[in-house]
Homo-oligomer: A and B are copies of this chain.
Amino acid sequence: MTPPANVRILLADDHSVVRMGLEALISTEPGLTVVGHAADGEEAVIQYRTLRPDVVVMDLLMPKKSGSQATAEIRAAFPTARILILSTSDGDDDVYRALQGGAAGYILKSAPGEQLIPAIHAVMRGERWIPAEVARSLANRSLREELSPREVQVLHELARGGSNKDIAAVLNITEHTVKAHLKNILAKLPARDRTEAVTVALQRGIIHF
């Protein structure tokens, strides 16, 4: 006989209500079994090591460690790991980082729910599952200039409020330097002023609260 081909799934989402709902939903499909839950990115990595599931269904926005970080770490240790991102649109940058990190697919929480099961099967077969919607969003992203790590750091401080002088003190650099970074940030995003820079960065997922 052919093997039962039972797919063992790990769910990673900080909303336990969502995890339980997904488990109930997935369990209605024969051949799919949820073998573990993770409430944050750190737990997802640990659970993966012990459970070795066939597929991970992972949210992006999680405490302690983001979904993209967890994805990258799992894939670094287990290059064959199959990870399906299940998230809201979040920012383009988050999505990009997850796929760069080795996620096999991406599915929007707002997408027709019937797509979850097919997406899991597709990822299980080694295929990629990326909605045209997401692909388009990524295409736009690639046109934009990337921020350097330092600029992202400055952006974080910008979001916390405070003057250039304050930021300079926190980062142990001169106010002149902060202004130079800020100028680059405004040009790259692009944004007219520091306030718009912060909102744009938040929407793109470059920074979070």
Contacts and interface: CB of A to CB of B under 8 A. Distances in A.
B25 A21 contact: yes
Interface in A179-209: 191-199, 202-203, 209
Contacts of A199: 159-161, 198, 202, 209
A55 interface: no
Contacts of A25: 17, 20-21, 24-25
Interface stretch (A42-50, A110-118, A131-139, A145-153): A110-118
A66 to B, nearest CB: 16
Interface in A159-182: 159-163
A138 B137 CA distance: 37
Contacts of A109: 15-18
Nearest to A112: B16
Contacts of A203: 209
**Taking the full assembly, how many copies of this chain does it contain?**
2
Contacts of A15: 88, 109-110
A86 interface: yes
A194 B198 CA distance: 11
Nearest to A163: B193
Nearest to A14: B110
A23 B17 CA distance: 11
A28 interface: yes
A111 B20 CA distance: 11
19 contacts: A15-B88, A16-B112, A16-B113, A17-B86, A18-B18, A19-B113, A20-B113, A20-B114, A21-B23, A21-B25, A21-B113, A24-B25, A25-B25, A159-B195, A161-B193, A194-B195, A199-B202, A199-B209, A203-B209
**Top 7 nearest A-B pairs by Cβ distance?**
A21-B21, A161-B196, A24-B24, A15-B109, A20-B113, A16-B113, A24-B25
